[in-house]
């Protein structure tokens, strides 16, 4: 299947700042893809090249197999982008702005009306239809950005740091909405420096740092590769007879404390509990630990993602 987005050896410098050193990314149609990296990693430059806002130095960017420069109109029409910076359209109300945006993609007002109504409702902006952008709170502006990205019903949605600076409650609401869009079959490219956002939402992640892709994979694969995941179980009494019941598990025992090194703690836990029950042991407490994408970033770069 032709990927939704393909980025091949993409390079870009601004004067003497090398922003992209040869980025390769393939995003399958229907994927929820995360470009995770600290500020200055090159995320916005990458998506600005994809959408024609910034010129590349070399490399290729394709949308559904078409070159984003040669076939700009086609490729741009497939993408809706919620940019990091708020637009500065102070003179028109929100409804007018959404109709203009639809018009930019050749959709007439009467054909856009249904989508516009749906977006105002879904994003909780119905009462603000006739307001100007400057009258909105930060969170509302953020939601409006997203409505603008969706008004021409694009197959690919690019969300550039969509929850930067929003409060926790709105962040969770937006996450739910993004999941719905993904469940509807949309391809989503999310840039973020929030570890939790990438872990919770994305099925594939490229970790980017200093204009380079450091690693890629599903969050689970990447986290499992760190080998820090495990289960610690405390028994109510020591049992020296466990070995034959726990065959096949990698674990250490110190008196009543058992520690299992396991890639998928939640998946294996029921099995372990069963084996311990067969051995006649009672459990007094269980703790599971998982490596995070922060651990992955740390082991690749030697620093935390938001340091």
**Chain residues in the site for ligand ADP (CB under 6 A):** 14, 17, 19, 37, 39-45
DSSP string, 129-166: TTSBGGGS-HHHHHHHHHHHHHTT--SEEEEESTTTT-
Q: Which is nearer to ligand ADP, 58 or 289 (CB)?
A: 58
Place of tokens 């029921």: 270
DSSP letters spanning 160-213: ESTTTT--HHHHHHHHHHHHHHHHTT-EEEEEES-HHHHHHH-SEEEEEETTEE
Question: In angstroms, what is the minimal distance from the CB of 297 to ligand ADP?
Answer: 13
Residue closer to ligand ADP, measured from CB, 275 or 298: 298
Residues 6+ apart with CB under 8 A from 300: 207, 209, 214, 215
* CA terminus-to-terminus distance, the chain: 39
Minimum distance, C-beta of residue 190 to ligand ADP, in the bound complex (Å): 12
Round to whole Å and give the CA distance between 210 and 38.
9
Specify the 3-state DSSP secondary structure of 96. Answer: helix
Closer CB to ligand ADP, 37 or 219, in the complex: 37
Query: Nearer to ligand ADP by C-beta: 17 or 137?
Result: 17
Strand partners, 261: 230
Q: State the nearest-atom distance from the C-beta of 32 to ligand ADP, in Å.
A: 19
Gyration radius of the chain over CA positions: 24
Give 19 or 147: the residue with its C-beta nearer to ligand ADP: 19
Minimum distance between the CB of residue 14 and ligand ADP, rounded to whole angstroms?
3
Give least dist CB 20 to ligand ADP, A: 8
DSSP 8-class letter at 126: G
Q: How far is the CB of 214 from ligand ADP (least distance, A)?
A: 13
The smaller minimum CB distance to ligand ADP, of residues 161 and 224, is found at 161
């Amino acid at each position: 299947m032709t990927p939704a987005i393909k980025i091949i050896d993409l390079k870009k410098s601004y004067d003497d700042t090398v922003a992209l050193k040869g980025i390769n990314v393939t995003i399958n149609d229907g994927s929820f893809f995360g470009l995770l990296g600290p500020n200055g990693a090159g995320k916005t430059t990458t998506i600005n090249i994809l959408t024609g806002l910034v010129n590349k130095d070399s490399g290729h960017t394709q949308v559904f197999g078409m070159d984003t420069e040669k076939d700009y109109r086609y490729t741009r029409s497939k993408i809706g982008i919620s940019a990091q910076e708020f637009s500065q359209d102070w003179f028109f109300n929100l409804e007018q702005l959404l109709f203009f945006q639809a018009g930019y993609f050749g959709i007439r007002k009467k054909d856009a009306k249904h989508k516009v109504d749906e977006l105002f409702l879904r994003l909780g902006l119905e009462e603000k239809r006739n307001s100007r952008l400057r009258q909105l709170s930060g969170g509302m502006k953020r939601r409006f950005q997203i409505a603008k990205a969706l008004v021409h019903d694009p197959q690919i949605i690019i969300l550039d740091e969509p929850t930067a600076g929003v409060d926790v409650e709105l962040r969770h609401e937006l996450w739910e909405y993004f999941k719905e869009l993904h469940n509807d079959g949309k391809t989503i490219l999310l840039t973020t420096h929030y570890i939790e956002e990438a872990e919770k939402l994305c099925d594939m992640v490229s970790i980017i740092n200093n204009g380079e892709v450091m690693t890629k994979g599903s969050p689970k694969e990447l986290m499992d590769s760190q080998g820090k995941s495990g289960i610690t179980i405390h028994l109510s009494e020591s049992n020296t007879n466990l070995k034959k019941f726990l065959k096949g598990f990698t674990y250490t025992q110190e008196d009543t404390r058992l520690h299992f090194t396991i890639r998928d703690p939640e998946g294996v836990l029921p099995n372990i509990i069963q084996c311990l029950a067969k051995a006649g042991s009672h459990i007094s407490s269980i703790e599971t630990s998982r490596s995070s994408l922060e651990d992955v970033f740390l082991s690749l770069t030697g620093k935390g993602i938001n340091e």
